[in-house]
Amino acid sequence: AQSVAQPEDQVNVAEGNPLTVKCTYSVSGNPYLFWYVQYPNRGLQFLLKYITGDNLVKGSYGFEAEFNKSQTSFHLKKPSALVSDSALYFCAVRGSNYQLIWGAGTKLIIKP
């Protein structure tokens, strides 16, 4: 069965430090992977995607994600965190019928 796991409910990072939000997936065939962010009282916003090509994908707001096929992971990263990055982050994989299959979400808290 296709699934996505985000092992951390919450990640706390000091402003200016690098951040990583973890995601692992299980899917048959080649994965189409996504990260979305939800700011308070806002909808889901697309951050980045991996379809094929380079394992390091760059996205919006300075975020990037690294696709690792052997570890079936797609961790979200940013070299230097901002307080404004505090939000809820969701990892997703595209299912066989084009629907998105989601992780449970990780709350990212950046402290000044």
Partner 1 sequence: EAGVTQFPSHSVIEKGQTVTLRCDPISGHDNLYWYRRVMGKEIKFLLHFVKESKQDESGMPNNRFLAERTGGTYSTLKVQPAELEDSGVYFCASSHSRGPAYNEQFFGPGTRLTVL
Task: Count, in order, helices (H) and strands (E) of the chain.
Answer: 0, 12
Decide: 47 and 108 in contact? Cβ < 8 Å: no
The minimum distance between CB 66 and partner 1, in angstroms, equals 18
Of 6 and 78, the one with the shorter C-beta distance to partner 1 is: 6
Size of the site for partner 1 (CB under 8 A): 24
* Rounded Cα distance, 99 and 112, in Å: 37
* Rounded Cα distance, 108 and 88, in Å: 6
The minimum distance between CB 97 and partner 1, in angstroms, equals 4
* Rounded Cα distance, 12 and 89, in Å: 13
Amino acid at 87: A
* Rounded Cα distance, 36 and 90, in Å: 5
Of 82 and 101, the one with the shorter C-beta distance to partner 1 is: 101
Of 81 and 92, the one with the shorter C-beta distance to partner 1 is: 92
Among 83, 99, 109, 111, binds partner 1 (CB under 8 A): 99
Of 78 and 105, the one with the shorter C-beta distance to partner 1 is: 105
x/- track of binding to partner 1 for residues 43-82 (CB under 8 A) = xxxx--x-x-------------------------------
